[in-house]
Amino acid sequence: MNLEGGCSCGAIRYQLTNSPLIVHACHCRDCQRVTGSGFVINIWIEKKFVDASGATPKSVVLKGGTGKDHEAFFCDKCGTYVWSRYAVAPSGEALFVRAGTLDNPAAVTPDVHIFTRSKLPWVRLPEGATAFETAYKIDDVWPAASKERARRNIAAQS
C-alpha cells in the first residue's frame, strides 16, 4: 500500500509505505470535538512507515476517548491535524494518521467503529460493521498479520 497525504496548505506531506495495522472510525466526544465532525477515521500504522516531509508538525497533549492523554500533531500554518500518538497503543511506536488528510481518503475504509456509545444519533453504521461501545481487545478484532507485526514491533523495542 502506498498512500500519500498532507495538511490543507501543503506544508506537511507524508507517504504511508506499508498497509495499516487497522483503520478505526472513532466516535468518542474527544474526536468529535477535535475534528468538528461526528467521528474521525484513524489509520493505525507504525511510525517507521510514515515518511513525512516538509514542515515539522507541532503537537498538543489532549485527552483521548479512554480518558488518557494522547499527543495530537498539526500544521502550525493551517492548523490541520495530521496524526496522533497514543501512549496506550500496545503495538510499539505507532501513529494514528487522519484518513481525511489523505490525497484520496476513499482509499481506506474503517475496519472497526469504536466508542459508539457517544456516536451521534443521526450517524448510521454500515450493515454488519464491527462496532464497540468503547475500546476492544486486539486479539478479538485484528487480523493475524497485524497482530504478528505488532508483536514483532514490541519485541524489537525490548
Tell me the residue range of the domain where 118 lies.
3-157
State pLDDT tens for residues 83-119.
Answer: 999 877 776 689 999 999 999 999 999 999 999 999 9
Residue 32 · residue 65 · CB < 8 Å: no
Burial of residue 80 (CB within 10 Å: 0-12, 13-18, 19+) is: buried
Question: Residue 81, Cα to own-chain centre: how many angstroms?
Answer: 11
Query: How many residues appear in the chain?
Result: 158
Structural domain count, the chain: 1
State pLDDT tens for residues 113-142.
Answer: 999 999 999 999 999 999 999 999 999 999
State pLDDT tens for residues 31-75.
Answer: 899 899 999 999 999 999 999 999 999 999 987 767 788 899 999
Cα 112 from Cα 41, distance rounded (Å): 10
Span 149-157, mean pLDDT? 85
Cα 52 from Cα 49, distance rounded (Å): 9
Residue 115, domain CATH = 3.90.1590.10
